[in-house]
Amino acid sequence: MTPAAVVISGTSTINKNMEFEVMEAYCRRLVVTALLSLGTVALSACGGGGGGSDSSSNNLTSGDDSAGGSSTGAWEPGNFLPASTYANQCVEPRSGTNPATGQAYADQLGSRLDENNWLRSMSNDLYLWYGEIEDKDPAGFDDSIDYFEQLKTFALTVSGREKDRFHYAIPTSDWQAQSQSGVYVGYGFQWALIEATPPRKAVIAYTDNEGGAGLPPGIGRGAEVLKVDGVDVAYGDDVDTLNEGMWPSVEGESHVFEMLPLGASESITFSLTASAVTSDPVQNVSVLDAAMGRKVGYMLFNDHIATAESALIEAVQQLKAQSIDDLVLDIRYNGGGYLDIASELAYMIAGDVTLGQVFERLTFNDQHPETNPVTGEPLDPTPFHDKTQGIGNVQPDVALPTLNLPRLFVLTGENTCSASEAIINSLRGVDVEVIQIGATTCGKPYGFYALDNCGTTYLTIQFKGVNAKDFGDYADGFRPNGSYGTGADLPGCSIADDFTHLLGDVNEARLSTAMTYIETGSCGDVPASGYTYSQVGARLSAANGSVPKEPWRSNRIMVR
Q: Is the peptide bond between 527 and the residue preceding it cis, with omega within 30 degrees of 0?
A: no
The pLDDT, as a whole number, for residue 539 is 65
CA dihedral 114, 116, 118, 120 (to 10 degrees): -140
Question: Region 337-353: what's the mean pLDDT?
Answer: 95
Amino acid identity at 285 = V
Q: Give the strand pairing for 492-494 and 433-438.
A: parallel
pLDDT at 559 over 60: no
Count CB-CB contacts under 10 A for residue 25.
14
pLDDT tens-place string over residues 495-508 = 989 999 999 999 99
Rounded distance between C-alpha atoms, residue 62 and residue 164, angstroms: 31
Please report, for residues 170, 174, 302, 413, 522, the alpha-carbon distance to residue 178 in angstroms, rounded to integers and kept in the order given.
10, 6, 14, 23, 40
- Listed residue (428, 402, 423, 419) closest to 350, CA to CA: 402
Q: What is the CA radius of gyration of the chain?
A: 24
pLDDT at 395 over 90: yes
Rounded distance between C-alpha atoms, residue 254 and residue 48, angstroms: 45
The pLDDT, as a whole number, for residue 15 is 28
Rounded distance between C-alpha atoms, residue 448 and residue 560, angstroms: 12
Poorest-pLDDT segment among 144-153, 278-287, 529-538 = 529-538
Cβ atoms of residues 331 and 419 within 8 Å: no
Number of residues in the chain: 560
Helix (H, G, I), strand (E, B) or coil at 267: coil
Helix (H, G, I), strand (E, B) or coil at 84: helix
Please report, for residues 24, 84, 176, 271, 457, the alpha-carbon distance to residue 119 in angstroms, rounded to integers and kept in the order given.
15, 10, 20, 42, 11
The pLDDT, as a whole number, for residue 543 is 41
Pairwise pLDDT comparison (474 vs 178), residue with the higher score: 474
Helix (H, G, I), strand (E, B) or coil at 492: strand
Rounded distance between C-alpha atoms, residue 107 and residue 187, angstroms: 35
Cβ atoms of residues 111 and 66 within 8 Å: no
pLDDT tens-place string over residues 239-260 = 999 999 999 988 999 999 999 9
Q: Which residues contact 156 (CB under 8 A, 6 or more apart)?
A: 162, 163
pLDDT tens-place string over residues 409-428 = 999 999 999 999 999 999 99
The pLDDT, as a whole number, for residue 45 is 28
- Listed residue (434, 446, 527, 559) closest to 488, CA to CA: 434
Helix (H, G, I), strand (E, B) or coil at 155: coil
Cβ atoms of residues 121 and 80 within 8 Å: yes
pLDDT tens-place string over residues 175-205 = 877 665 556 788 999 998 888 889 999 999 9
62 confidence band (pLDDT: 50, 70, 90)? very low
The pLDDT, as a whole number, for residue 16 is 27
Cβ atoms of residues 302 and 334 within 8 Å: yes
pLDDT tens-place string over residues 132-146 = 999 999 999 999 999
pLDDT at 21 over 50: no
Poorest-pLDDT segment among 120-129, 161-170, 306-315, 424-433 = 161-170
Share of residues in the chain with pLDDT > 90 (%)? 65
pLDDT at 216 over 80: yes
pLDDT at 550 over 60: no
Rounded distance between C-alpha atoms, residue 184 and residue 250, angstroms: 10
- Determine phi and psi for 221, rounding to 5 degrees: -50, 135
Distance of CA 326 to the CA centre of its chain: 27
Rounded distance between C-alpha atoms, residue 290 and residue 296, angstroms: 7
Rounded distance between C-alpha atoms, residue 266 and residue 301, angstroms: 32
- Listed residue (37, 65, 36, 70) closest to 52, CA to CA: 65
Mean pLDDT in the chain? Answer: 83
Pairwise pLDDT comparison (21 vs 467), residue with the higher score: 467
Q: Which residues contact 36 (CB under 8 A, 6 or more apart)?
A: none
- Determine phi and psi for 202, rounding to 5 degrees: -135, 135
- Listed residue (310, 335, 352) closest to 441, CA to CA: 335
pLDDT tens-place string over residues 157-167 = 888 889 998 89
214 confidence band (pLDDT: 50, 70, 90)? confident
Rounded distance between C-alpha atoms, residue 10 and residue 7, angstroms: 4
Poorest-pLDDT segment among 128-132, 144-148, 465-469, 533-537 = 533-537
Cβ atoms of residues 294 and 5 within 8 Å: no
Q: Taking phi first (over 0 means left), then psi (-120 to 50 degrees means alpha), and beta for anything else, what does residue 459 get?
A: beta
pLDDT at 549 over 70: no
pLDDT at 207 over 60: yes
| 413 class by beta-carbon count within 10 Å (0-12 exposed, 13-18 middle, 19+ buried) | buried
